[in-house]
Amino acid sequence: MRTFVNLGYLTRVNIDNLNSSENPGNLIVLKKVQDSKGDYYVYVSGQALRYYLKETMNQLGMPLTKLNKSGEYKINAESKDDDDERYKEILKSHPDLDLLGFMEAKGGSGKMALRRWSPVKVSPMISIYPWKGESDMLTRKKEGQEGGDLVKIEINTFNFMRGTIILDANIIGARGDELSYDIEDVLDEEEKAKRINFLVESVKNLDGGAKKARLLDDLTPKFVVISKQKAGTPIFLNGLDVDTDGNIKIDLLNEILEEFEGIIEDYCIGIRSGIFENEDVIKTEFGDKAISVNQALDKIKEWSK
């Protein structure tokens, strides 16, 4: 039986522009999506979030695979013709590709690319509250120009963001994919645990986002619900919400936990103090299941063994 770990999280932003869209002229646009009512919600793309995770893991000491001038990975593997051996060598030498997947094109027509499905899957982060149309201004100085050009930057302010990360725990350090039950271990348990530790610590200390030189913000999770599951269903993706008074909607979360009890083998909740208005209610409601955010994230290491 496969083991999946599901991490649903909420974070609180202050003032930032984490992920910009196309910028027309002197306007730096936030990435946003519009709902059926016409409200705009800020989002951070899954690609950007995976980059934040990689960069944080690198800050914590995990080496990243370099790219060549063509944007292809510089693979440290000697095997050229034996795809099976080359795949294993890549997993052993490149921890980031083991965790986040890769595709290596093969020369010649009719040759299939060497591909690894990512064991770590992320959703885009999306804001809980609609964007309020707020912006910041800066001045771009030019030689010989007095005053400079004004630049308008759209900003996301005092909002909550939610997202989900799914970990296919059995595939870390192993040959296999989401379409196969045939899993062959490539790494020993110690090395697997080391890589999962890098992933968990990167979530605890998540660092990233655009415009950090002047719009630095804290992306670390402020509330998490983590479950050990029989299937990789992202059940918390629509199960986390915060009302306008700053209360987490407990009834919504309880409904999800009850509806999917058939695939949930265990779960816990982590909450950071001083963020949510109903913090005490949550701790009373979930009792021993409610712990600190970092304690909850450490459960991922335990459940992934």
Residue pLDDT, tens place only, 53-71: 999 999 999 999 998 888 8
Are 77 and 106 a contacting pair, CB within 8 Å?
Answer: no
pTM tops 0.75: yes
Q: Is the pLDDT of residue 263 over 70?
A: yes
First to last CA, the chain: 13
* Cα 116-163-280 angle, rounded to 5 deg: 140
Q: Which residues pair with 116 in a beta bridge?
A: 102
Task: Report the greatest alpha carbon distance in the chain.
Answer: 69
Alpha helices in the chain (DSSP H): 46-59, 83-93, 95-100, 189-204, 250-259, 279-286, 293-303
The band of 91, judged by pLDDT with boundaries at 50, 70 and 90, is very high
Using CA atoms, how far apart are residues 224 and 75, in angstroms rounded to an integer? 35
27-28 and 149-154 beta bridge pairing:
parallel
Per-residue pLDDT reduced to its tens digit, 115-147? 899 999 999 999 999 999 999 887 776 666 666
List 291's β-bridge partners, or say none. Answer: 270
As a whole number of angstroms, the distance between CA 116 and CA 77 comes to 15
Element (H, E) at 102: strand 102-104
pLDDT digits (tens, 9 = 90+) for 12-63: 999 999 998 777 778 889 999 999 999 999 999 999 999 999 999 999 999 9
**Among 137, 177, 131, 169, which Cα is nearest to 19's?**
131
Q: Round to whole Å and give the CA distance between 184 and 14.
A: 45
Residue 191 confidence (pLDDT) above 60: yes
Bridge-based pairing of strands 156-168 and 120-122 is: antiparallel
pLDDT at 255 over 70: yes
Mean of pLDDT values over 270-297: 97
Give the residue, 77 or 301, on which the prediction is more confident: 301
Q: How many CB atoms lie under 10 A from the CB of residue 84?
A: 11
Residue 119 is predicted with a pLDDT of 95
Residue 271, SS3 per DSSP: strand
Per-residue pLDDT for 108 more than 60? no
Kindly give, in sequence order, each residue whose CB lies less than 8 Å from that of residue 197, ignoring residues fewer than 6 positions away: 301
